[in-house]
Every structure is written in C-alpha cells, then in structure tokens.
C-alpha cells in the first residue's frame, strides 16, 4: 500500500471517529426543569450550586490521566518517526 493511500486511510479513520464523537451527548449536572422546580422548593438555595452529589471539583485524576495518555501518544509518534527513519 502506498504512503499516500495509507495517509488517506488514517485521515478518514480519524475523521470518522471525530464525527462519531460529535453526536455523543454531553453530561450536565442539571436536572430536568420539572424535577429542578420540585427540588428547589424543598431544598435550600445553596443546594443548586453543588456539582452532582458531592460538590467536589477535584480534577486531579482527569489531569493525570490526560497527561499519561498524552505522553503515551507522544511516545508512539516518536517511535513511529524513528522507525520510518530507518526503513
């Protein structure tokens, strides 16, 4: 398979994945309007500002995980570039 065809295949696969991710719904920490109205009638005013159930905004695990994946991706790119250099 030629290099141009391989690049086109990789680009098409990446575009397909990104296109599929476009339709993944986002997660919001809000309830439906009807449920929200019932909850605010019973709960104190400060309860609306909480994030999910815990109120925690600790993003450390997500940052560490993202950096690990970024490092792994950079390693794969460096390995591929080095391997292509010697081919």
| pLDDT (tens digit per residue) in 48-57 | 555 556 666 7
Mean pLDDT taken over the chain? 75
CB 72 within 8 A of CB 80: no
CB 50 within 8 A of CB 30: no
Rounded distance, CA 57 to CA 77, Å?
A: 33
Residue 41 CA, chain-centre distance (Å), reads: 35
CB 36 within 8 A of CB 30: yes
Phi, psi of 29 (to 5 degrees): -95, 30
| pLDDT (tens digit per residue) in 63-76 | 999 999 999 999 99
């Amino acid at each position: 398979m030629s290099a141009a065809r391989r690049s086109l295949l990789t680009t098409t696969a990446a575009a397909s994945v990104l296109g599929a991710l476009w339709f993944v719904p986002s997660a919001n920490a809000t309830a439906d309007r009807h449920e929200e109205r019932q909850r605010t009638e019973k709960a104190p005013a400060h309860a609306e500002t909480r994030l999910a159930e815990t109120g925690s905004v600790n993003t450390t695990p997500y940052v560490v995980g993202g950096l690990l994946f970024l490092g792994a991706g950079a390693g794969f790119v460096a390995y591929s570039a080095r391997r292509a250099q010697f081919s």
